[in-house]
Amino acid sequence: MQWKTICFDLDNTLFSHEEAFEKAICYCFEQLQQKWLEKNVIENQLDLSTWFNSFKRYSDIYWKKFETKKVDAKTYRRLRYHDTMKEFALPYTDEEADAFHAHYYDIVDTFSEPYEGLFELMSVLQQSGIIVGIITNGTADTQYRKVEKIGLASFISNDQIFISEELGVAKPSRKIFDIALQKLGETKEKLFIGDSWEHDICGAIDAGWDAIYLNTRDKPSATNHQPLATCQKLTEVLNVLRDDQSMKG
């Protein structure tokens, strides 16, 4: 392989964050409904998928405000919780929103399952002497637990994991890529693999890295940046890495 350092995004790159998010949020709401039923707050349970679809819609609506720092994380979570509960005429307070999300963050990593082909890919990179790391946006404790849960601790140590909350800078900023490279060892032969066009592909290319777009969510490219390849599944990445001709093309 032509690279000395290969780094990955975490969510929706090494495992499906979308699936873990839905399962964990639904589990938390199911537990909440049970408490409401016992206290006669509600008479009948709501359909989980119907409720979750609304929660996801409000999550997406308010995400831009959070991403552009118009609201902080706590406010973002309260907004999506409150608006969902209002839609179904359910009770809500700031304290309940905070407790709901605290429960979610306590258990979300238990729903994280590695993508097919992850361990084979990591084994090949390890055997090839490639330096491997993770560059991810998110909260430190949650991201570290996800890495542990999906079984990557034996391949990637904590000092090879770079998390926006700890570093005070997030993708797509060039700075987070530069920090990772300084810690892992400066090299011109560096590759980044991720699922977000803006954060991972644009960010990595603008920082001077090669990039592979792992388009697990079937989202179109939004700029003229040119990744070396586009894959739909993690299982395709190893084949691309082994095929130098396709990388040059």
Please report the pLDDT score of residue 138 as a whole number: 86
Buried b / exposed e over 28-51, threshold 16 CB at 10 Å, is bbeebbeebeeeeebeeebeeeeb
76 and 182 housed in the same domain: no
Q: Give the pair of three-digit tokens for residue 33.
A: 């409904």
Do 180 and 198 fall into the same domain?
Answer: yes
Q: Supply φ then ψ for residue 204, to 5 degrees.
A: -65, -45
Taking alpha carbons only, the member of 210, 209, 219, 143 closest to residue 177 is 209
Query: Based on the domain organization, do 73 and 187 belong to the same domain?
Result: no
| Amino acid letter, 155 | F
- Closest to 156 measured CA to CA, from 19, 3, 2, 9: 9
Domain boundary among 94, 110, 126: 110
Question: How does DSSP classify residue 193?
Answer: E
* Residue ending a domain, choose from 110, 138, 172: 110
User: What is residue 41's predicted lDDT score, i.e. its pLDDT?
Assistant: 86
Give 226-235's long-range contacts (Cβ < 8 A, gap of 24+).
227/201, 228/191, 233/115, 233/116, 233/117, 234/13, 234/14, 234/115, 234/116, 234/117, 234/118, 234/121, 235/115, 235/116, 235/117
**Residues with pLDDT less than 50, the chain:** 245-249
The answer to whether residues 183 and 239 belong to one domain is: yes
Pair (27, 118) in one structural domain? no
d(CA 196, CA 172): 10
Q: Are residues 49 and 97 in the same domain?
A: yes
Please tell me the predicted confidence (pLDDT) of residue 139.
Answer: 84
Considering only the C-alpha atoms of the chain, give the largest distance between any 2 of them, rounded to a whole number of Å. 65
Which residues, in sequence order, are bridge partners of residue 114?
A: 15
CATH code for the domain of 39: 1.10.150.240
String of b and e for 189-202 (b: at least 16 CB within 10 Å)? ebbbbbbbbebbbb
Residues 70 and 117 reside in one and the same domain: no
Is the same domain home to 128 and 56?
A: no
* pLDDT number for residue 11: 95
Q: What is the CATH number of the domain that holds 194?
A: 3.40.50.1000
- 22 and 9, same structural domain? no
Q: What pTM value is reported for the model?
A: 0.85
Does residue 121 sit in the same domain as residue 62?
A: no
pLDDT in the model for residue 120 = 96
Secondary structure (3-state) at 135: strand
pLDDT score at 197? 97
- Write down which residue in 86, 110, 134 finishes a domain: 110
Determine the Cα–Cα distance for residues 54 and 69; give it in Å rounded to an integer: 23
The pLDDT value recorded for residue 244 is 54
For residues 135 and 167, membership in a common domain is answered with yes
- Domain range for 10 is 5-16+113-248
Tell me how many domains the chain contains.
Answer: 2
Domain shared by 236 and 130, yes or no? yes
